[in-house]
Chain A
């Protein structure tokens, strides 16, 4: 490509390449703001904490709170539901990992690991189907847990995926009981 047709690269070749490289770096760094503007901004990212009063939630009842634009199911499960979830053999689960943000990332998907710490009847989880993001219907489907009407994923009473196209258990957000009747999510 150089003006002088010599086989040896000369100084001019070097200058061409150097100029091109600087130009490419410039183009890429200019492109970044145009791409990054699409990402969630700081206000959206700010991990909003919410407090939820659960004193009115009796056994067998659920409420839905909204956190980061997503629904969080808070359910006080019945004794039977807990029994059912405990009876499941871990080997038969499609996703054997707890997916609980409060536990190490390799914790097993046992019922204890899915439920609130020390309060096994309480289940707090992000009510978003792990398939493509619909909101499953509570207390329905073949496993008495949640059933997603969009593409037919069925979850059990501990929110673990049992059947259908969803790949993982529904996620447990970071949360704690700040008192017996108050949950802080986030």
Chain B
């Protein structure tokens, strides 16, 4: 080890980052989803590489090759179900992780770059999952690809050429499938690269914690190992149990029956919906059914949908509050939970057909979504009176445990629920 360390200090880097690294002593389970995300990136890459050994990216045989994985390949059914449900669990984890960040103000100075890298990872994940879903070449694969690449035709003048560039033809076809497979293989490794930058930025700024008060002395922290390792490990095990339940008992619950019908370019299924993790964005896309000045309804919908993610990049500068953690912001706390409810509501609307009252409700939900980021965040920070912040992390932990006297060393349990 010392021999290696003197030449390439990799063991030291690992030791400093994942063993000795000081973490705030009051982290709760919302903070374990970062580790879970890393685990699931690993799961997707591992299962993906073995699926790629049996999958054929050719529109004539792609569907059959996936059926062969399901029926013939040893353990193929399990590997494919792990990969397909793994994508869903990956998104569950990323949504918890993002809302955790919004709740505890993790995006505020000095962590803006850390937050922006996170949003980039989220975008790459969406692109990867979308292209992966095209690979089994079922009806939903085909029509999802048609609709989503259709977004680009919304841009005036250059739109059609961009779409043809992406598809390699006038409609989704073999050329499209091949390039999507190539990119679906590539992007997860790009995600892994950005994850490294993300963790690096994290280790420069340090973790936030449920009080939002910065670490002030070594009494406020505990070493990563064993404290965070064990806690993250326990959360992973619980999450993996849920994952296993889905794989073995409800493997197709999150999928669509239509995707077990081979792609037919001449027939659109009567109700096409994307995977659940895209539904809120899909609802926003469909909410714009009218022209806004020179912007027609189609371009409007596409801009709103992309805008809903772009706005996340600006959150560090939209929030004017000096207080980091929502725990000490009584009014913002209410708006935060309304936002969560609004996103779930939009997701539900996205799964409904675009008829009757649904588009109007989706419009209301969309307006609220943007209102939260563009109005509530800047204004509330100026008018709200926050609660008194604790002097330090240690003070907050001791107050909670009703103690004050007993000195609590680094060996004390860090998981006082915060």
Contact = CB atoms under 8 A, between A and B. Distances in A.
Contact of A40 (B143, B175, B288): B175
Interface string A57-77: 000000010101111000000
Interface string A126-165: 0000111111110000000000111110000000000011
Interface in A43-101: 44, 64, 66, 68-71
B298 A131 contact: yes
Contacts of B166: 38
A165 B298 contact: yes
Contact of B169 (A40, A133, A151, A167): A40
Interface in A100-134: 130-134
A69 B168 contact: no
A44 B354 contact: no
Contacts of B268: 134-136, 148-150
A172 interface: no
Interface residues of A, number: 29
Interface in B165-196: 165-171, 173, 175, 179
A64 B147 contact: no
Which secondary structure characterizes the binding site on chain A?
Answer: loop
A166 B272 CA distance: 16
A6 interface: no
Contact of B146 (A44, A66, A133, A137): A133
Contacts of A70: 170-171, 265
Contacts of A69: 169-171, 173, 265
Contact of B272 (A40, A44, A71, A134): A134
A17 B268 CA distance: 55
A167 B353 contact: no
Interface in B257-274: 265-272
Interface in B132-151: 143, 146-151
Contacts, number: 95
B296 A152 contact: no
Contact of B301 (A40, A66, A165): A165
Contacts of A41: 168
A39 interface: yes
Contacts of B269: 149
B151 A149 contact: no
A166 to B, nearest CB: 7
B146 A165 contact: no
B168 A40 contact: yes
A137 B267 CA distance: 9
Interface of B: 143, 146-151, 153, 164-171, 173, 175, 179, 265-272, 285-286, 288-289, 296-299, 301, 353-355, 359
Interface of A: 35, 38-41, 44, 64, 66, 68-71, 130-137, 148-152, 164-167
7 contacts: A35-B165, A71-B266, A135-B266, A136-B268, A150-B147, A151-B354, A164-B289
